[in-house]
Structure 1
Amino acid sequence: MSWLALATAIGVEVFATLGLRASEGFRRRRWILPIVVAYLLSFYLLWLTLRLGMPVGIAYGVWSACGVALVAVIARYVFGDPLTVRMLIGIGLIIAGVSTIELVGAAH
């Protein structure tokens, strides 16, 4: 159940972050309410993940790493943002780091 809450938190946070880009610096005001609601919901779901027993280091690591990777990849296709080989290597390193934390955390 904690992984479902975390996955939902990640998806909602990615939506909110991409909404920031779509809002063009809040010049498109219709994005303000969905962004605020999405960030609040994402933090609530992260809190729920922690309440359900997931260690904070693992939850936050997975939440932030997945958020960075997903936003970078989706922004490439939705907004035409750059996604270079170096950026992909960086995303791979983030995933490797979080995976290491996950494995070490699960061993204790």
Structure 2
Amino acid sequence: MKRKWALLTGAIIAEVAGTLMLRATIENPLWIPLVVISYALAFTLLGLTLRLGLPIGVVYGTWAAFGVALVAVLGMVVFGDTLSIGAMIGIAIIIVGVVLIETSTKDKPRETGEEVTA
């Protein structure tokens, strides 16, 4: 179980890093190879997470919600972006929604004839 969440956490971190570097390419295109590597790593880890049996809705929802929240916060810190109160409330609602989905979803193996262990 911990391995699944470690892979998903890695996917989120790689995607956030890639997105922040994507913003940096505006001023310096030398960041482009690192953007490609980060996104490739993010999708690889996302795929591995799915192979371990977490439901796709939970995986994608968690990845997207925490990615949005982290990019927004780090965009403020790194690039001086601003967020309105409405945007902050919206991000909080997305995260609460993902937490509700996660806490109401039972983690069970997919019906492929094989039991998934992690």
Query: So what's the TM-score if we normalise by structure 1?
Result: 0.93
For structure 1, the residue ranges without an aligned partner over 5 or more in a row are: none
**1:62-92, CA deviations, whole angstroms, 9 ceiling, x for partnerless residues?**
0000000000000001001112211110111
**1:81 partner SS:** coil
Amino acid at match of 2:8: L
Distance (whole Å) between structure 2 residues aligned to residue 75 and residue 29 of structure 1: 18
Corresponding residue of 2:78:
78
Distance (whole Å) between structure 1 residues aligned to residue 7 and residue 102 of structure 2: 17
For structure 2, the residue ranges without an aligned partner over 5 or more in a row are: 109-118
**2:58 partner SS:** helix
Corresponding residue of 1:52:
52
User: Where has structure 1 moved over 4 Å in runs of 4 or more?
Assistant: none
**1:21-53, CA deviations, whole angstroms, 9 ceiling, x for partnerless residues?**
1111xx522111000011001000000000111
Query: So what's the TM-score if we normalise by structure 2?
Result: 0.85
Q: Give the structure with the higher percent helix.
A: 1
The alignment-based identity, stated in percent, is 49
Distance (whole Å) between structure 2 residues aligned to residue 11 and residue 63 of structure 1: 9
Q: Structure 1 pair 75/8, CA: closer, same or farther in 2 (3 Å)?
A: same
Q: Give the CA RMSD over aligned residues.
A: 1.4
